[in-house]
Amino acid sequence: MAGDQVFDYLVVGGGIVGTATAYKLSVKHPDKSIALVEKESELGMHQTGRNSGVIHSGIYYRPGSLKAENCRIGREQLVKFAKKYDIPHQICGKIIVATTKEESLILDEIFKNGIENRTPGIECIDSDEITEREPFVKGVKAIWVPSAGIIDYVEVVKTFVRLLLERNPENKLFLGKKVIGLHREANLVYVETSKQSFTAKEVIVCGGLFSDRLARLDKLKLKMQIVGFRGDYYELKPSAKHKVNNLIYPVPDPRYPFLGVHYTPMVGGEVECGPNAVFTFKREGYQKTSFNWKDSLQALTFKGTIRLFANNWKKGVEEYRRAFSKKLFVKELKKLMPSITEDEVVATRSGVRAQAVGEKGEMIDDFKIIHTNGVTHVINAPSPAATACLAVADEIIAGLG
């Protein structure tokens, strides 16, 4: 049975995109009732709380793409929001380092993207200037990106929800309620969860790692599937933290939507190194041995996954070897910082990225939002979704009926 209250809006998902959308709805419609439904007992427990905590600049993304536009606009909104509500953050800047002539050519293309994307203050620097900014980093050429930074995204999420609940006493947060059914009757949408049912006039589903399954609950026919990629992190020991001043990134492989193993100063003072990117046998599996039959079977019987692996098996093997070998992981870190040693890093946390894969094995690298009758599905919200969350929320709301 559905609850007696009919909410004007119901948002599924307590991650960064879901909470930003609920918050933005409360700003635009302060007199409307808004419910936020999350399956976990806390907010931001998965991609939001397990990413690298970076405020991205937008330099990498294809000009004109939703990622590029939302990142530029969203970064400005996010930094302004963080300043207003005293959320821990720092605009520390980032250096993208080419270590070979081949990487320098890719770096030139990234710089062109950055100019087209209006990334503020970017400049190319030579090896001497690299040493001035990062004395322990060795490279032939780099891009200095002053607008990149770091932030505590879980605190952002908690602030969104606090403001949502303060704005209207009819706004509600429901934790520990996993959505298991969606259906429409007349002009209402009925949302069934593991513990309670809800009724709303409009529903927005921001399901992250389970966005495709939630869409299929709603009878959507998708030509893609979410495939999980785990990323493992190491942390610099206190004795080695002086080796990193800013965000330090390699030149990414243009064939993949991952940015490579990098050095990240965190808002708490730690310095993390990573992540790698390996297929995970469990969508929310944070251990190297995590396994779930349903997740594995669904991923490995999908023709898109099979084609992805067939086309990229060498890269996959390389990533898996590195995932189980500290020596190989540190070897990758040494490409940017030759002096780093195995004794200076310790294994820490991990995260799982929701990667949308098409039937032909292609990695879908842009935002995908589907509006249906009364229900909006955020099918794909790849990085920089956290940085761009407020702009993505604006886009979601603009498409509502």
- Kindly report the number of other CB atoms within 10 A of residue 109's CB atom: 12
Q: Return the pLDDT at 257.
A: 65
Q: Return the pLDDT at 86.
A: 98
Asked, for residue 287, whether it belongs to a domain, the answer is: yes
* Pair (208, 310) in one structural domain: no
Asked, for residue 177, whether it belongs to a domain, the answer is: yes
Q: Return the pLDDT at 315.
A: 86
What's 385's domain CATH number?
3.50.50.60
* Pair (213, 232) in one structural domain: no
- Is residue 385 exposed (0-12), middle (13-18) or buried (19+ Cβ within 10 Å)? buried
- Is residue 133 exposed (0-12), middle (13-18) or buried (19+ Cβ within 10 Å)? middle
Q: Return the pLDDT at 4.
A: 67
Asked, for residue 233, whether it belongs to a domain, the answer is: yes
Q: Dihedral angle at the C-alpha atoms of 69, 75, 81, 87, nearest 10 degrees?
A: 150
* Pair (295, 202) in one structural domain: no
Asked, for residue 249, whether it belongs to a domain, the answer is: no
Within 186-300, strands assigned E span 188-193, 197-205, 224-236, 247-250, 262-265, 271-274, 278-279
Domain count of the chain?
2
Q: Return the pLDDT at 158.
A: 98
* Pair (313, 369) in one structural domain: no
* Pair (350, 384) in one structural domain: no
Asked, for residue 58, whether it belongs to a domain, the answer is: no
- How do residues 93-134 score in pLDDT, each as one tens digit? 999 999 999 999 999 999 999 999 999 999 999 999 999 999
Which parts of the chain register pLDDT below 50?
Answer: 1-2
Q: Return the pLDDT at 31.
A: 97
- Kindly report the number of other CB atoms within 10 A of residue 398's CB atom: 9
Q: Return the pLDDT at 3.
A: 52
Q: Return the pLDDT at 88.
A: 97
Q: Return the pLDDT at 259.
A: 76
Integer distance in angstroms from the first to the last C-alpha of the chain?
26
* Pair (171, 40) in one structural domain: yes
Q: Return the pLDDT at 365.
A: 86
Q: Dihedral angle at the C-alpha atoms of 260, 264, 270, 271, nearest 10 degrees?
A: 60
Range of the domain at 352: 227-242+266-358
Tally DSSP H helices, then E strands, for the chain: 11, 20
* Pair (235, 338) in one structural domain: yes
